[in-house]
Chain A
Amino acid sequence: MSIVTVQLGQCGNQIGFEVFNALFTDSQSSQGLCSKRENEAYQASCKERFFREEKGVPIARAVLVDMEPKVINHVLSKAAQSGQWKYSQHACFCQKQGSGNNWAYGYSVHGPKHEDSIMNLIQKEVEKCDSLNGFFIIMSIAGGTGSGLGAFLTQHLHDHYSNALKMNQIIWPYGTGEVIVQNYNSILTLSHLYRSSDALLIHENDTIHKICAKLMNIKQISFGDINQVLAHQLGSVFQPTYSVEGSFHYRRNPLGIDWQVRPPLPGLPPLGKMSQNREQHFNTSLANLVILRGKDVQNANLEGFKDPALYTSWLGPDEAFTVWKTQRAFSRYEKSAALVSNSQFFVKPLDTIVGKAWNMFASKEAWNYARVHGTPGPAPPQTPGGDSRVRPLLTTGLAAWGTVVRGRVSEVCAELSKQ
């Protein structure tokens, strides 16, 4: 079962490279702390998932998309330089001008315009898989391409490949600004994504930065360092593992995390009444997944994760907690563990950016002038002879900000605060 990765924008492409590198390097590692046969099964499984072979060279199952060429060129050459694996030159889609940090550009202009070309590339990559499990879409939510085009594409993948899982890796920007309009872009992206994506894996730049500074003691932290930490975390989740049933084959379904939240059974008291009787917990989980790799995994004590206080009343630890174990070590760590959690941690950062976006929007409608003045904001990309269709699209796209921001954002917050 294979995964097709779609790398979007500068962030997506830079991270995607590090992820493939981490996966490949780990799979090739000889210090697996397990039998040779097991190591070979692990390698074969990893390879099938993320790479395919062309003339003996492993090629990443990936489609690289960006609205300007510099980053993709850089990433392609870095991969080729490693001599171990590379990207397919034909699986890249580039334009010349970038999205200008404008979500509306990514979503309403670049999306429809390049939909066919990009979906074609994805289709080609899908056809090269024996069986497709799903898509892994890497994007940031602060910029223009990753966020806007990412939201658009995820929706289309949802429509075209309804049986395949879509997991989005989204990068939460630094709190003190990388991009001034990042709050607008983030809100707009999330309000679209949460309807069409099956799972959103979130990484915050601030948090990874702290990991680099405090846990790893790196003095001058670069984006390369941050991306490598991220790739390491993802690798430890995506590499092959045994399922909880303890079968002797590696799980064929790497993204088989069951994120479906079942509604409370009829007969239980309604939620409102229940929560008054419980103490305030700092973080309630809907589901948790622990992945253990390396020595002594069978003897690990996981009772702490099964505490009912961590979970909701209507989805207890028996249903909500899962563990996968495998003896094969990851990245030469004797023992390693990863936790993937569907919990409330997300509410606070989300609330913060909604607040900031609302402040900017409501106080003086800054950055919305395109709608007010009736002239398009930043210019649409070049089309020969000028595309008169593009201008009204942009104005209506921007005019829709008002409804989208107010309606969707409030819904998102309300749903999450119901926990």
Chain B
Amino acid sequence: MTQSVVVQVGQCGNQIGCCFWDLALREHAAVNQKGIYDEAIGSFFRNVDTRVVGDGSSISKGKICSLKARAVLIDMEEGVVNEILQGPLRDVFDSKQLITDISGSGNNWAVGHKVFGSLYREQILEKLRKSAEHCDCLQCFFILHSMGGGTGSGLGTFLLKVLEDEFPEVYRFVTSVYPSSEDDVITSPYNSLLAVKELNEHADCVLPIDNQSLFDIISKIDLVVNSGKLGPIVKPNSLVTSGGTAFKKQHKKPFDAMNNIVANLLLHLTSSARFEGSLNMDLNEISMNLVPFPQLHYLVSSLTPLYTLADVNIPPRRLDLMFSDAFSKDHQLIQADPKHSLYLACALMVRGNVQISDLRRNIERLKPSLQFVSWNQEGWKTSLCSVPPVGHSHSLLALANNTCVKPTFIELRERFMRLYKKKAHLHHYLQVEGMEESCFTEAVSSLSALIEEYDQLDATKSLPVEDVQRLSIAV
């Protein structure tokens, strides 16, 4: 089995990462009742004997001694990482796998990318190499960051280039949090656009998430939970938004609930690679099946169910409803409407007690309402994992490569142009060494080229499906 390393960059990345490790531990604790270190846990954790002084030698089999996350934590200010290291997860992180600075990036992509990039390149390389050495067979780097700030956006994308050069055979999956339109960081359009260019060129696969969608999902859940005594009661531990604390308590940190959704996304994505099932899907298959052209690697994700009802008298939501929900725009993790755009490919990753006939029935049912590109009319990739997530009997993660990401990019470009035309705040970027106006213009053309590709595909939407003439043999 393969291992993955999680690299969390910046405040957002580290906070999401913290939620992810918490949920991962809970999931493995629920599945692995005997406390034996097996290959499934090994994909994200090392088993370390802390009594050994020094590096803490790794144990590959036998009982779990002390689990260390395969993670590298990077932030250019200390507050967030320090909080993690003082919190309940402090023993899960290896203190040598951190890179911090004091001053932060000032919400400036150029500072994150150029200044801190060159300053910390060697250290970053060293930590990454160390974590790779601890892996038997490293398959994937998961990068968690936000696009709107300075560190996550700038240093996070600098990291991508380093990973591509140093570990060309290892996949780079990026979870990017895009700023919503009411973002409080004024320079977020600049940061996001400059980051998008790097993602276009150096990431294998990007899962864009936006805060507004996460917020909407939380509001929906809250509505159900708080709808008073007459309403249905939700099972504790089943909320996609709940972490270690009981769901009724006030969330200590305001973004916890939202981050838990993203953490769940990562767990579901890797579930079929870690646990057994009747139709396995490894991480390398995600890229192979869902990315038809190297530039178009943005996948829209949606997660169902969001909660399970505790009251046994109320029948559980039918399985088929779970599939329908996955395709409704309320469950997408980004503001997008895939049903009314063009699908290039779609993956359904099911967990729990769901069989192939349920999957087929729902695909047949949903297919007529979805539009697939002409050369991939049956573009479905499916997987069945037998281990359900904590608190649910089954779940579904739908990943779609769909032209509905185009509006997100168009809006990003518009917000960027509004600032750029006035050259507002530009001097903060240009005064950084290595930064020139050409960086901006190149980034815009990169994004425009991407939008153009999606446009071309959309143009084929209304055309009738024609069979391309086949080659015939010369007799």
Contact = CB atoms under 8 A, between A and B. Distances in A.
Interface of A: 10, 14, 68-71, 73-74, 96-102, 144, 174-181, 209, 212-213, 218-224, 226, 354-356, 358-360, 362-364, 366-367, 369, 373, 375, 377-382, 386, 406, 410-411, 414
A2 to B, nearest CB: 30
Given A177-B380, A355-B470, A363 B170 contact: no
Contacts of B290: 180
A363 B381 contact: no
Contacts of B206: none
Given A176-B367, A218-B357, 4 more contacts: A100-B288, A181-B288, A363-B374, A382-B137
Interface in B164-178: 168-171
A382 B284 CA distance: 13
B39 A176 contact: no
Interface in B377-405: 377-382, 384
B425 interface: no
Contacts, number: 152
Given A71-B280, A363-B375, A411-B473, A178 B294 contact: no
A75 B171 CA distance: 29
A400 to B, nearest CB: 16
B280 A70 contact: yes
Contact of B137 (A96, A362, A414): A96
A213 B364 CA distance: 15
B367 A360 contact: no
Nearest to A220: B355
Given A177-B380, A379-B168, A359 B360 contact: no
| Most chain B beta-carbon neighbours within 10 Å: one of A73, A177, A224 | A177
13 contacts: A10-B279, A70-B280, A71-B276, A96-B1, A96-B136, A98-B282, A174-B360, A209-B356, A224-B278, A355-B470, A366-B293, A369-B293, A386-B169
Contacts of A70: 1, 275-276, 280
Nearest to B358: A220
Interface in B325-379: 345, 355-358, 360, 363-364, 367, 374-379
A101 B285 contact: yes
B355 A180 contact: no
A377 to B, nearest CB: 7
B138 interface: yes
Contacts of B374: 359, 363
Nearest to B344: A366
B66 interface: no
B384 A97 contact: no
A406 B471 contact: yes
B282 A97 contact: yes
B356 A221 contact: yes
B473 A74 contact: no
Interface string B121-144: 000000000000000111100000
Contacts of B471: 358, 406, 410
A2 B475 CA distance: 44
Interface string B285-308: 101111011100000000000000
A100 B293 CA distance: 16
Contacts of A222: 278, 355-357
Contact of B472 (A69, A221, A355, A410): A410
A57 B377 CA distance: 50
A220 B352 CA distance: 14
A381 B367 CA distance: 35
A362 B375 CA distance: 9
B378 A356 contact: yes
Contact of B288 (A226, A354, A377): A377
A366 B453 CA distance: 13
4 interchain residue pairs of minimum CB distance: A100-B284, A177-B380, A221-B357, A379-B169
A82 B168 CA distance: 44
Nearest to B474: A410
A379 B284 contact: yes
Given A97-B137, A221-B355, A223-B384, A180 B473 contact: no
Contact of B279 (A98, A223, A354, A380): A223
Given A98-B285, A178-B279, A223-B355, A69 B360 contact: no
Nearest to A222: B355
Interface string B193-217: 0000000000000000000000000
Overall SS of chain A's interface: loop
B230 interface: no
B1 A209 contact: no
A380 B167 CA distance: 12
Contacts of B355: 220-223
B454 to A, nearest CB: 13
A175 B1 CA distance: 30
Nearest to B379: A180
A176 B380 CA distance: 7
Nearest to B376: A360
Interface in B105-155: 136-139
A179 B289 CA distance: 7
Contacts of A363: 374-375, 468
A379 B170 contact: yes
A10 B280 CA distance: 8
B55 interface: no
A217 to B, nearest CB: 12
A226 B356 contact: yes
B380 A180 contact: yes
B2 interface: yes
B467 interface: yes
Contacts of B293: 364, 366, 369
B138 A382 contact: yes
A1 B210 CA distance: 64
A382 B358 contact: no
Interface in B445-475: 467-468, 470-473
A218 B358 CA distance: 12
Given A96-B1, A223-B384, A410-B472, A180 B282 contact: no
Contacts of A381: 137, 169
Contacts of B378: 175-177, 356
B90 to A, nearest CB: 31
A358 B364 contact: no
Contacts of B345: 180
Contact of A367 (B39, B280, B292, B382): B292
A100 B282 contact: yes
A411 B380 CA distance: 29
| Most chain A beta-carbon neighbours within 10 Å: one of B293, B376, B471 | B376
Contacts of B1: 68-70, 96
Contacts of B138: 382
A377 B293 CA distance: 10
B283 to A, nearest CB: 8
B470 A358 contact: yes
Given A96-B1, A100-B287, A410-B471, A366 B292 contact: yes
A99 B364 CA distance: 28
Nearest to A373: B294
Nearest to B354: A220
B287 A359 contact: no
B276 A382 contact: no
Contacts of A213: 357
A380 B360 contact: no
A176 B285 contact: no
A367 B278 CA distance: 26
A266 B355 CA distance: 55
A362 B468 contact: yes
A178 B39 CA distance: 26
B381 A176 contact: no
Contacts of B356: 209, 221-223, 226
